[in-house]
Structure 1
Amino acid sequence: MNKLKLMTLVGVMSAALLLNGCGAQKDAPKENTKQTEQKQEDKKEDSKATEKTEDKKEEVSLSDWAGEWNNMGSYLDKPEVQGAFKTLAKKENVDEKKAKADYLEKRKCEFNGLKIEGNKIIFTSKIPSENGEKIAETEYKFVEKKAVKHGSHMLEWDVFEAVDSNAKYKVLLMMPIHGEEELTHFHMRYGNDKEELFAKEGWFPTFVKPNTTDKQIIGEIEE
């Protein structure tokens, strides 16, 4: 009889342990589900943070071009650089006169100086060091980046629009500063209609640092 009671007691305890185990197994998925949902939520937040970071990287400001800049065209009639057009003519298999005329047309610009501070540009008739007449003073806002096909490759422009709708130059296309190893410069286009500016494939007004040398200009022409 005692043995029977003992066996019954052992059976009851075993059943209880088994039931508890099943209950734990049922509870575990709930806990795992909560952890999975939390991880997914964390991933969403990480993704949002990444998107915000990428958006900041895409933001462009005129302050990226801050400082004073000389129109490259203001150097092109200097006696010291004329030999470069002879080299260019041979390279393009045209006469020297045409080589120079085509190059001047490509760099043509109606202002010779830029003073860029913050989101504002002052356009001047002469290079800044010569204190030329102020042609315009305008505040701009960044609008978009635009990749445009040019020959076999793509050119990326940063597009700016004037805050004042009556500005002389309502739209600017700006390329990032480059060429630091030889000639620090950037290309730009100006006007009132961005689509028209994108379409002017052979027009690249170019601005260089005030300390640019004739030798650097020669190298750029002959390139």
Structure 2
Amino acid sequence: MQNIKLQRLGALVFALALGASGVSAHETGATAAEGHDHSHSHSHDHDAKGSISEGYFENEQVKPRELSDWAGNWQSVYPYLQDGTLDGVMAHKAEHGDKTAEEYRAYYETGYKTDTNRIVIEGDRVEFSDADSTVAGQYQSDGHEILTYEKGNRGVRYVFRKVSGDEAAPAFIQFSDHIIAPAKSGHYHLYWGDDRQVLLEEVTHWPTYYPADLTGEQVAKEMLAH
């Protein structure tokens, strides 16, 4: 699929720009600022610095998760950014943040951009669809990684490795949804490609998926609620 090829290339260029970096089995440092300039209400647990969903937690709080946490039919939010449905969300961010609405829109243009408009996860099978085609693979857990971001907060990537399926389906997928223990995801950021380590360094491009049965207006409402 075109987007999968582009994302693989983009992730490789990004990694080359950063330079080589060591990634341990359980924790890696991300040299760029965290790519998610938004907060979430997935958890109300707080420590002295902030909430788990904001990236403040202890390593022992992180638990393994199964692919079933992301089971379902999911839609990309990128088309809603393009058609103006999320303009109110950008305006809201500008009222409470350090960028203008247009600057936020440009930031999310980079983050959300993808032509993989639909993802379906059932059992161990993950399907990736764009306007022209669908590829699929069977995936199994490949552990998780704790990332430390430039501004001091952290995140967890849950990694799954392809064990069979279409050649064009990515070798690895990595979920980030600001949840660090087993729980059903309400939306997520997904990273995919053929190099596990390169994907861990990607912090600026994070295609984002919400349930496919939500309208654009409902997606916007969900974002504003967070």
Query: Is the shorter-chain TM-score for this pair beyond 0.5, marking a shared fold?
Result: yes
After superposition, the CA RMSD in angstroms is 2.9
Q: How many residues align?
A: 157
Could you tell me which runs of 5 or more consecutive residues in structure 2 were left unpaired when the two chains were aligned: 1-61, 180-184
1:3-152 map, 5 Å:
60-125=65-130, 132-150=131-149, 151-152=151-152
Q: Provide the TM-score with structure 1 as the length reference.
A: 0.60
SS of the aligned residue for 2:197 comes to helix
Q: Distance in 1 between matches of 2:111 and 2:225?
A: 14
Structure with the bigger percentage of helix: 1
Q: Give yes or no for the alignment of 1:220 onto 2:219.
A: no
Change (3 A) 1:176 1:94: closer
Describe the shift of the 1:175–1:87 C-alpha distance in structure 2 as closer, same or farther (beyond 3 A): closer
Identity, in percent, stands at 20
1:68 and 1:174 map into 2 onto residues whose CA distance is 15
Give the whole-Å Cα distance in 2 for the aligned partners of 1:137 and 1:91. Answer: 40
**Structure 1 residue 192: deviation in Å?**
1.4
Structure whose CA Rg is larger: 1
Partner Cα separation in structure 2 for residue 176 and residue 86 of structure 1: 23
Query: 1:37 maps to what in 2?
Result: none
Q: Which residue of 1 aligns with 2:162?
A: 162
Structure 1 residue aligned with 2:52? none
User: Counterpart of 2:174 in 1: which secondary structure?
Assistant: strand
The answer to whether the 8 Å contact 1:148/1:155 transfers is: yes
* Structure 1: unaligned runs, 5 residues or longer: 1-56, 126-131
Q: Secondary structure at the match of 2:82?
A: coil
Q: Secondary structure at the match of 1:76?
A: helix
- The CA distance in 2 between the partners of 1:87 and 1:137, in whole Å, is 37
d(CA) in 1 for partners of 2:197 and 2:114?
A: 19
Deviation per residue, 1:125-183 (Å, 9 max, x gap): 1xxxxxx53331111121111111123222111111111494431111113586xxxx9
Q: Secondary structure of the equivalent of 2:139? A: strand
Deviations 1:168-214 (A, max 9, x none): 31111113586xxxx92112111111211111123322111123341
Aligned to 2:200: 198
- Distance in 1, matches of 2:78 and 2:137, equals 22
- Structure possessing the higher relative contact order (Cα contacts under 8 Å, 6 or more residues apart): 2
Structure 1 residue 90: Cα displacement = 4.2
Native 8 Å contact 1:65 1:177 kept in 2: no
